[in-house]
Chain A
Amino acid sequence: MNRRQYNWLILIIPLVALAIWVDVSKLITVPNPFNSQTNLIYRNVDTRLGLDLRGGLQVLLEADLPADATISSDDLNVTRQILESRANALGVSEVVMQVAPPRRIVAEFPGLQDPEQVIASLQQTGLLEFVDIGSQPIAEGTIIQTDFGTSTSATTTETPASTPATPTDTPTSTPTTDPSVTPAPTETPAATPTIYHTVLTGAALSAVNVQAASLGGFDIATTFKSDAATTFADYTGDHVNQYMAIVLDKRVISSLIIKSKIPNGQGVIEGKFTQDSANTLAIQLRYGSLPIPIKVVQSRSVGPTLGEESVRRSVIAGIIGLLVVVIFMGLYYRLPGLIADAALITFALICLMLYKLIPVVLTLSGIAGFILSIGMAVDANILIFERLKEELRAGRTLRQAIDLAWKRAWPSIRDSNSSTLITCVILFWFGSAFGASVVKGFALTLALGVGVSLFTAIIVTRTFLHLVLDTIKSAEHPRWFGI
């Protein structure tokens, strides 16, 4: 009679199983059945906590230009890129930087203890150098020491974990198969890092252009200022067939081979560039310093102890709240109430799975959004059950009443949840516009909760109810429905 209802079990059972699997694991792996060396799925599903929960620093940066100045989104993106590599070079892990157009960048440093140093190094202008590195190329991303302005260097001498470098091509004709990261042109012991000579800095460049190369691909044409051109001509003349590195903030972004003396300050960097990689390098040459000056307009730092305390208390509060709701539903609505409780647990499991898979960064307000969505999920069930009671009182049989209750409660569930979703969208937009992650996190978890609750409160509850009624015949007694 209600066979069609059971079809949903085909979806519900694997979904709940998947949710439990994801919820209890930190890492999910599915080995590839055809090749034991690789994994079909390899994914980190550890719960991600926001800065307010784990401690850390959030900074809102803004272009330090007059309010009416237009800022191109390219410039903003380049700035973000440079800032990100600077932060990575400082050894700060898990930095998240997002552009908030038209003129802002949100930077988050989880678990950071020393905000002053990071803020200071973000705000300084970057230093671009052309460095003499001798006869061996240096791999991109290597941190080196130079003899230029060592005292003002923000980077430490210890090499931080090498980070993915922004440019992808090595513009030398030499194959870069040699993986030696530490170059040793002289037989210096590795203990003392080599200090390289800086030939020129980015200040000497007057123009950088990307041009189509005669043999296909792209080149970068550089023009040096007249006084620097002489220095450059002398240097290149003396070092033909040796290497020169382009270094940004002490990090090698490219190693070049010098093919011949460059007399008039008009150099061409040849390499097998694509248009994108040529542009990236040109931008870095042009804006060794940031393309737009920036200032800090907002900063929040949260100590780790406050975060821990908040998580512990919120989790306890959440469990107590959920328990009270579960008990209330069971007492007031009897059998359907208990089934709604089962659906509510399914709801919590699926939500948690989604947070881990998407992933949603959980903040305090995000947890508040989740707890409110529990309220919404319960409301859908209350609407249905009140309707069920009405239909039963009107003298319908149980099965008829169930069908009618679900059918008639639907429009109000749909319309009320739609209005909540509209509010969520506006909140999300509001939150993204100026980096108020508080508001954004709340809107996201509430919206997800509303979406999941539509599934659990309507379909899961109904399937479970039919299942119980079909297995336990005595459950059909009206007393079980609180009449």
Chain B
Amino acid sequence: MNIIKFRYIYFGISLLVIVPGIIALILWGLPLGIDFTGGSLLEVQFASGQPPSITDVATLYNELSTTQMDISNPVVQPVGSDSLSIRSKEMNDTLKSQIIAALKDRFGGGQDVIIMNFTQVSAVIGKEVAIRAAGAVALASFAILIYITIAFRKVPNSFRFGTAAIIATIHDILVTLGAEAILGHFLGWQADSLFLTALLTIIGFSVHDDIVVFDRIRENSNLYRRIDFTTVVNHSIVQTLDRSINTQLTVMFTLLALALFGGASIRHFVVILLVGVFSGTYSSIFNASPVLVVWENKEWRNWFRRKSETTII
């Protein structure tokens, strides 16, 4: 089985997935939740089983909004059949009580309106979380780069392994961010601190997968010193293919179980993880190791020549 041969096709597939995501990111931006932007999130359940319409709630918020406490134009989303989640700017407790009372009065249908969940984050702290999050991702990538460089120090050019892993990781981050931007636009999902957790897990998983393949390359390079690097890499990918697919399947099984049967509150998190874990396995097989081959052969020298001269082995 020659997997490495089609490496530019895999890169092309990756681009096909990443480019729409990037376009979505540019057009609509990453839908940041209140964890990063500040604001309040109120989730209410209507005991009557009949929540009001989205416009009704928005009208109510606009009525109660004042210049000091601007809660106009909230984002309202149905949760399940009897609950609503309402996002707005920050509010104080008096205003919150007013809202609950008004919701019960107008739309309660004589029954209770229960606060399922109320979260409030000040704008300052939201910004700080966002900055720290970026720092955490950068730090994690850097730590992994160093770890791989040390773990593969006996292989020539061990730095390349770390860099290839980081390239594959950036691939997965872009896929995940793009998916979040697209899903956020169409389903109204917002990136909260759970999304960040998912992103960091995906990074961990992706590197985990890369290392398994790299480890086989490390072992095979010592076994077959005479054979050229491209063949060794291909052989290593093929040897670890069963493992890559099976591990991916078991993780997918548990995640699918969570997505299908777990609570609604983590569904978003689980779906993002599914996307990321799939991308992570793809990139470990079809990006990370092929990048090593491209680097070894210094293929970029051929990229800009006329087609007839390019030699893709």
- How many angstroms from the CA of A320 to the CA of B117 in the assembled complex? 27
Question: Are B247 and A116 closer than 8 Å at their CB atoms?
Answer: no
Binary B-proximity of A298-331 (CB < 8 A = 1, otherwise 0): 1111110110011001101110111011001100
Contacts of A296 in B (CB 8 A): 120
Question: Are B246 and A332 closer than 8 Å at their CB atoms?
Answer: yes
- How many angstroms from the CA of A50 to the CA of B266 in the assembled complex? 15
Shortest Cβ gap from B94 to chain A (Å): 9
Q: Is A400 an interface residue (CB 8 A)?
A: no
Question: Are A422 and B144 closer than 8 Å at their CB atoms?
Answer: yes
Question: Are A438 and B211 closer than 8 Å at their CB atoms?
Answer: no
Q: How large is the interface on A (under 10, 10 to 19, 20 to 34, 35 or more residues)?
A: 35 or more
**Given A368-B266, A434-B125, A320–B261 Cβ distance below 8 Å?**
yes
10 contacts between A and B (CB under 8 A): A300-B120, A321-B253, A321-B255, A324-B257, A371-B254, A372-B273, A416-B209, A427-B136, A427-B197, A434-B132
Question: Are B261 and A316 closer than 8 Å at their CB atoms?
Answer: yes
Question: Are A301 and B253 closer than 8 Å at their CB atoms?
Answer: no
Q: How large is the interface on B (under 10, 10 to 19, 20 to 34, 35 or more residues)?
A: 35 or more
**Given A303-B115, A372-B201, A297–B122 Cβ distance below 8 Å?**
yes
**Given A368-B266, A383-B243, A420-B208, A303–B133 Cβ distance below 8 Å?**
no
Contacts of A418 in B (CB 8 A): 147, 151
Contacts of B205 in A (CB 8 A): 420
Question: Are B117 and A306 closer than 8 Å at their CB atoms?
Answer: yes
Q: Is B269 an interface residue (CB 8 A)?
A: yes
Q: Is B288 an interface residue (CB 8 A)?
A: no
Contacts of A299 in B (CB 8 A): 118-120
Question: Are A411 and B215 closer than 8 Å at their CB atoms?
Answer: yes
- How many angstroms from the CA of A400 to the CA of B133 in the assembled complex? 48
Q: Is B69 an interface residue (CB 8 A)?
A: no
Q: Is B114 an interface residue (CB 8 A)?
A: yes
List B residues 129-170 near A (Cβ within 8 Å): 129, 132-133, 135-136, 139-140, 143-144, 147-148, 151
- How many angstroms from the CA of A376 to the CA of B255 in the assembled complex? 13
**Chain B interface residues (CB < 8 Å from chain A):** 35, 43, 45, 93, 97, 114-122, 124-125, 128-129, 132-133, 135-136, 139-140, 143-144, 147-148, 151, 193-194, 196-197, 200-201, 203-205, 207-209, 211-212, 215-216, 218-219, 239-240, 242-243, 246-247, 249-251, 253-258, 260-263, 265-266, 269-270, 273
Question: Are B116 and A438 closer than 8 Å at their CB atoms?
Answer: no
Shortest Cβ gap from B51 to chain A (Å): 15
- CB-based closest 7 A-B pairs: A321-B257, A412-B215, A321-B254, A423-B204, A375-B251, A317-B262, A310-B263
What 10 additional pairs, Cβ within 8 angstroms, besides A306-B116, A371-B254, A426-B136?
A: A302-B117, A303-B115, A321-B258, A382-B243, A386-B243, A416-B208, A419-B148, A426-B200, A427-B200, A430-B132
The interface centre, meaning the residue of B254, B257, B265 with most chain A CB atoms within 10 A of its CB, is: B254
Q: Is A213 an interface residue (CB 8 A)?
A: no
**Given A298-B125, A382-B247, A423–B200 Cβ distance below 8 Å?**
yes
> Chain A contact residues: over half helix, strand or loop, or mixed?
helix
Question: Are B243 and A419 closer than 8 Å at their CB atoms?
Answer: no
The residue from B114, B249, B251, B258 contacting A317, defined by CB atoms under 8 A apart? B258
List A residues 387-420 near B (Cβ within 8 Å): 390, 408, 411-412, 415-420
**Given A321-B258, A426-B136, A382–B246 Cβ distance below 8 Å?**
yes
Question: Are A297 and B114 closer than 8 Å at their CB atoms?
Answer: no
- How many angstroms from the CA of A410 to the CA of B31 in the assembled complex? 42
Question: Are B132 and A433 closer than 8 Å at their CB atoms?
Answer: yes
Q: Is A294 an interface residue (CB 8 A)?
A: no
Contacts of A302 in B (CB 8 A): 116-117
Question: Are A436 and B254 closer than 8 Å at their CB atoms?
Answer: no
Question: Are B212 and A317 closer than 8 Å at their CB atoms?
Answer: no
Q: Which residue in chain A gives the minimum CB-CB distance to B192?
A: A438
Q: Is A60 an interface residue (CB 8 A)?
A: yes
Contacts of B200 in A (CB 8 A): 423, 426-427, 430, 439
Binary B-proximity of A361-378 (CB < 8 A = 1, otherwise 0): 000110010011011101
Q: Is A442 an interface residue (CB 8 A)?
A: yes
Question: Are B249 and A306 closer than 8 Å at their CB atoms?
Answer: no
**Given A301-B115, A303-B117, A426-B200, A371–B97 Cβ distance below 8 Å?**
no
Q: Which residue in chain A gives the minimum CB-CB distance to B269?
A: A368
Q: Is A119 an interface residue (CB 8 A)?
A: yes
Q: Which residue in chain B gives the minimum CB-CB distance to A58?
A: B119
Contacts of A147 in B (CB 8 A): none
Q: Is A62 an interface residue (CB 8 A)?
A: yes
Contacts of A427 in B (CB 8 A): 136, 140, 197, 200
Shortest Cβ gap from B217 to chain A (Å): 11
**Given A302-B116, A320-B257, A423-B203, A60–B125 Cβ distance below 8 Å?**
yes
Contacts of A303 in B (CB 8 A): 45, 114-117
